[in-house]
Structure 1
């Protein structure tokens, strides 16, 4: 029916100038609904924009340490260690450990971007439609499901090396050793690498979710014409 209507329009304007006919054609094409392929491409563009910003923000110096939303705190199952050491005047030692712990996460975050971008590019058209119609963090949840195992496998050795490189492992060992020497306390020795890896991944996806939400809700964050068209239909 749209094609028939368009032909009728052309017949009606047959007496117009070439420029007028071209303008009418452009207006008609601009009004056309986007194809499913264009919608999928637009969503993938949006996600790559978000991934780039989120991953880059996490991987930069102080990306974790100076961002309260994703800063990695003392392991909660041994927070009593932190409290006790601060009570006995060793707060500076604890703070040094926490800073180096977050430095390790920043180092590991550099590994994330290519893995998640690969998952975005392999997304099906149906996946894209489901995400477009989903919640503000639908894409982030999809990517967590698709990439978490691979990211964890890639993050852990990087975290391990980064913790050693930044001396976080040494500081933590010193802290635990100091705590375990305190009379009437139970010895502790949690897995720092697993904890840091999980916290680093959680922080990364939190930043990705923030960028996804911006693109969905803020037209200024839509940096290409295709993005603007795709998300304008959802506004």
Structure 2
């Protein structure tokens, strides 16, 4: 644990390539004095990548499993808030069951689409430079999550939208939503509504994924030994 603490201090103070190299020299002197095998800059970067891939895979898997969204209050997708009046009105006239069925299928669509996220995240992680990795190590608590948002959001949206559309159709969410909106629009004197369900579901599905990723990043940072591979254990001198 002493070696782990020392290495953390050095990592958090490293910045430029020259400083990184100096840091590794100092770290390896410390590790060498205890008989541990020296680490390289590349190993630090690869160790972080392995840890992130493991953690993010866990997050994506949790989101994409049955009830991954629907029974997780942190990421459950609710009835579209901009048409909350539709939900309220339908519940008032005894159609709450239809609303609940729609919300469940909406989340089923997101769970189905989330399966597409993991390979996109893994590609982004593998594409990190050594400088990216060190910036994440010494960055804010959500530095890895923010990196993935910057590098994958556009691709996720492009990939998710057609998958969401297909998923919503597959689980009948689009049909249920159409039925709900049509029933609402038939109520006398109400203002007609027809918001874009695909856009809403896509945005909320991606938002939920990043919430899960942020939680996994927190685990990685707070519990490096428990959450990492053998390579990162050696990199951080955990033994």
Q: Could you tell me the TM-score, scaled by structure 2's length?
A: 0.82
CA change 1:136–1:155 in 2 (3 A) is same
CA change 1:90–1:220 in 2 (3 A) is farther
Task: Report runs of 4+ in structure 1 exceeding 6 Å deviation.
Answer: none
Task: Tell me whether 1:130 sits opposite 2:146 in the alignment.
Answer: no
2:86 and 2:237 mapped to 1: Cα distance? 52
Root mean square deviation, CA, Å: 1.8
Larger displacement relative to structure 2 (178-187 or 112-121): 178-187
Task: Tell me whether 1:121 sits opposite 2:126 in the alignment.
Answer: yes
Q: How many residues get paired?
A: 208
Corresponding residue for 1:97? 102
Equivalent residues of 2:160, 2:202 under 8 A apart: yes
CA change 1:185–1:232 in 2 (3 A) is farther
1:41 and 1:186 mapped to 2: Cα distance? 56
- In our comparison, the structure showing a higher alpha carbon Rg is 1
Corresponding residue for 1:168? 173
Question: How far 1:229 sits from its partner (Å)?
Answer: 4.3
Tell me, what secondary structure is at the counterpart of 1:30? coil
Question: How far 1:213 sits from its partner (Å)?
Answer: 0.5
Corresponding residue for 1:30? 36
- 1:163-198 CA-to-partner distances (Å, cap 9, x unmatched) read 011000000001101111112211110000010001
Q: What does residue range 1-235 of structure 1 map to in structure 2 within 5 Å?
A: 28-30=34-36, 32=38, 34-231=39-236
Equivalent residues of 1:46, 1:212 under 8 A apart: no
Equivalent residues of 2:225, 2:233 under 8 A apart: no
1:231 and 1:80 mapped to 2: Cα distance? 53
Question: How far 1:28 sits from its partner (Å)?
Answer: 4.5
Question: How far 1:26 sits from its partner (Å)?
Answer: 7.1
2:52 and 2:236 mapped to 1: Cα distance? 12
Question: How far 1:224 sits from its partner (Å)?
Answer: 2.0
Structure 2 unpaired stretches of 5+: 1-30
Question: How far 1:227 sits from its partner (Å)?
Answer: 2.2
Q: Could you tell me the TM-score, scaled by structure 1's length?
A: 0.84
1:219 and 1:126 mapped to 2: Cα distance? 20
